[in-house]
Structure 1
Amino acid sequence: MDGVAGATDQRGRMLVTEEETRDGYVRDIVSGREVRATPEEVEAVQVFARRLIEDFDYPKSHIQTRPQFRVRARPSEERARTYPVDIAVFSAERKLEDDVDIIVECKRKNRSDGEKQLKLYLSMSSARIGVWFNGDDHLYLYKRYKTDGTLEWSVLPNIPKFGQTVEDIGLLKRRELQAPTDLKAHFRTIRNYLAGNATGITRDQSLAEAIMSLLFCKIYDELNTPPEDLPRFRTAVDEPVERVFSRATELFQHVKEEYPDVFQEHEIIALDPESLQYVVGELQNFAITESSRDAIGDAFEVFIGPAVRGEEGQFFTPRNVVQMMVDILDPQPNETLIDPSCGSGGFLVVALEHVWKKMENQGERNGWSETVLERRKREVASRGFRGLDKDSFLTKVTKAYMAIIGDGRGGVFCEDSLAEPQNWSAMTQERTKLGSFDVVITNPPFGSKIKVTGRQKLSQYRLGHRWRQPRGEDWREEGSVRTDQSPQVLFIERCIQLLKPGGRLGIVLPESLFGMSNYGYVQKYLLENFKLISFISLPDEVFQPYTHAKTCVVILENSPPSDDDIHMAIADWCGHDSRGKPTNRVNDDGSIELLDDLPKIAENLAPLMDWHSND
Structure 2
Amino acid sequence: MELEIQITGNKIYAPLLGKELILTPEERIRQKYICRLVNHYGYSLDQMQQEVTLTGSKRGTGRASADIVIWRSKEDRLKNINPIIVVECKADYITISTEDYYQGQNYARFANAPFFVTTNEKETKVFKVNLEITPKTLSDEILDIPNATEANSNNEVLKLLAKTKAFERDEFSKLLFQCHNVIRNNDKLSPEAAFDEISKILFMKIRYERNPDEDNIFTLNQFEKQERNYEKNIRPVNVKRNGPKDDIPYMDYWFELTKDEFEDDELFDKNDKIRIKQGSFKEIVKKLQKYNLSTTSDDVKGIAFEEFLGGTFRGELGQFFTPRTVVDFIIEVLDPQEDEVICDPCCGSGGFLIKAFEHVRDKIEQEIKIEKDKVNAAFDEIAEATKDVEALNEVSNEIIHKLSYETQIRKREEQDRARRTDMYISRLEKLSSTCIFGTDANPRMARTAKMNMIMHGDGHGGVHHRDGLLNINGIFENRFDVILTNPPFGSRVEKSSIITKADQITDENRIARYKKMYGDSTYTKAMQQINNNIDEPLLNTLHIGKKGMSGLTEVLFIERCINLLKPGGRLGIVLPEGVLNTQNLAKVREYFESTAKIILITSIPQDVFMKSGATVKSSLVFLKKFTDEENRLWKNYTTQATKDVKAKHAPELNSIKEKLMLKGAEALNTTTKKELRQQKKKIEEQIEVEIRAIVKEKFDYEIPIATVEKAGISSTGSIIENELIDIEKEYTPYRIKNELWKEQKPNFKYVWSSKTGKVERVKNSAEIQIIEW
TM-score normalised to structure 2 length: 0.44
Q: Name the amino acid aligned to 2:170.
A: P
Asked if structure 2 preserves the Cα contact closer than 8 Å seen for 1:452 and 1:486, the reply is no
2:400 corresponding residue in structure 1 = 367
- 1:290 aligns to 2:302 (yes or no): no
SS at match of 1:180: helix
CA distance 1:297–1:178, shift in 2 (3 Å): closer
2: CA distance between counterparts of 1:487 and 1:495? 12
CA distance 1:530–1:295, shift in 2 (3 Å): same
Aligned length, in residue pairs: 403
CA distance 1:463–1:298, shift in 2 (3 Å): farther
Question: Which blocks of at least 5 consecutive residues in structure 2 are unaligned?
Answer: 1-139, 141-159, 229-249, 372-398, 407-424, 497-535, 631-695, 746-773
1: CA distance between counterparts of 2:440 and 2:545? 20
- 1:177 aligns to 2:182 (yes or no): no
- Cα deviation digits, residues 200-235 of structure 1 (max 9, x gap): x5344431211113345677899999xxxxx99799
- Cα deviation digits, residues 127-177 of structure 1 (max 9, x gap): xxxxxxxxxxxxxxxxxxxxxxxxxxxxxxxxxx9xxxxxxxx99968632
In the TM superposition, 1:309-388 aligns within 5 A as: 309=317, 314-364=319-369, 365=371, 367-368=400-401, 372=405, 375-388=426-439
CA distance 1:452–1:381, shift in 2 (3 Å): farther
1:212 corresponding residue in structure 2 = 199
SS at match of 2:439: strand
The structure with the larger Rg is 2
CA distance 1:459–1:178, shift in 2 (3 Å): same
- 1:549 aligns to 2:616 (yes or no): yes
In the TM superposition, 1:157-196 aligns within 5 A as: 176-180=166-170, 183=173, 191=180, 194-195=183-184
Q: Name the amino acid aligned to 1:306.
A: G
- 1:608 aligns to 2:689 (yes or no): no
CA distance 1:274–1:392, shift in 2 (3 Å): same
2:771 corresponding residue in structure 1 = none
2: CA distance between counterparts of 1:599 and 1:278? 45
2:484 corresponding residue in structure 1 = 441
Percent of pairs with identical residues: 30
- 1:572 aligns to 2:746 (yes or no): no
CA distance 1:177–1:232, shift in 2 (3 Å): farther
In the TM superposition, 1:52-451 aligns within 5 A as: 176-180=166-170, 183=173, 191=180, 194-195=183-184, 197-199=185-187, 201-216=188-203, 261=264, 270-272=275-277, 275=280, 289-291=298-300, 295-296=304-305, 298-307=307-316, 309=317, 314-364=319-369, 365=371, 367-368=400-401, 372=405, 375-403=426-454, 405-407=456-458, 409-419=460-470, 424=471, 428=472, 431-447=474-490, 449-451=491-493
Q: Name the amino acid aligned to 1:507.
A: I
Cα distance, 1:517 vs. partner? 2.8
2:604 corresponding residue in structure 1 = 538
2: CA distance between counterparts of 1:565 and 1:555? 13
Asked if structure 1 preserves the Cα contact closer than 8 Å seen for 2:438 and 2:464, the reply is yes
- Cα deviation digits, residues 276-298 of structure 1 (max 9, x gap): 57767888899673238555555
CA distance 1:492–1:498, shift in 2 (3 Å): same
Q: Name the amino acid aligned to 1:198.
A: N
CA distance 1:494–1:260, shift in 2 (3 Å): closer
CA distance 1:485–1:353, shift in 2 (3 Å): same
Q: Name the amino acid aligned to 2:708.
A: A
- Cα deviation digits, residues 354-403 of structure 1 (max 9, x gap): 11112212322163499859833122222222212222333233334445
2:559 corresponding residue in structure 1 = 493
2:114 corresponding residue in structure 1 = none
- Cα deviation digits, residues 229-288 of structure 1 (max 9, x gap): xx99799xxx99969999999997997786565677997654446645776788889967
Asked if structure 2 preserves the Cα contact closer than 8 Å seen for 1:219 and 1:288, the reply is no
CA distance 1:266–1:295, shift in 2 (3 Å): farther
Asked if structure 2 preserves the Cα contact closer than 8 Å seen for 1:341 and 1:389, the reply is yes
CA RMSD, Structure 1 to Structure 2 (Å): 4.6
Asked if structure 2 preserves the Cα contact closer than 8 Å seen for 1:191 and 1:302, the reply is no
2: CA distance between counterparts of 1:410 and 1:530? 30
Q: Name the amino acid aligned to 2:625.
A: N
Cα distance, 1:306 vs. partner? 1.5
2: CA distance between counterparts of 1:256 and 1:529? 41
CA distance 1:609–1:481, shift in 2 (3 Å): same
Cα distance, 1:491 vs. partner? 0.4
Q: Name the amino acid aligned to 1:462.
A: H
Cα distance, 1:338 vs. partner? 1.3
CA distance 1:602–1:291, shift in 2 (3 Å): farther
CA distance 1:406–1:248, shift in 2 (3 Å): farther
Q: Name the amino acid aligned to 1:490.
A: L
Cα distance, 1:441 vs. partner? 1.1
Cα distance, 1:512 vs. partner? 1.9
TM-score normalised to structure 1 length: 0.54
Asked if structure 1 preserves the Cα contact closer than 8 Å seen for 2:179 and 2:198, the reply is no
Question: Which blocks of at least 5 consecutive residues in structure 1 are unaligned?
Answer: 1-160, 162-169, 226-230, 466-479, 584-593
Cα distance, 1:418 vs. partner? 2.3
More helix by share: 2
Asked if structure 2 preserves the Cα contact closer than 8 Å seen for 1:217 and 1:233, the reply is no
Asked if structure 2 preserves the Cα contact closer than 8 Å seen for 1:495 and 1:505, the reply is yes
Cα distance, 1:554 vs. partner? 0.5
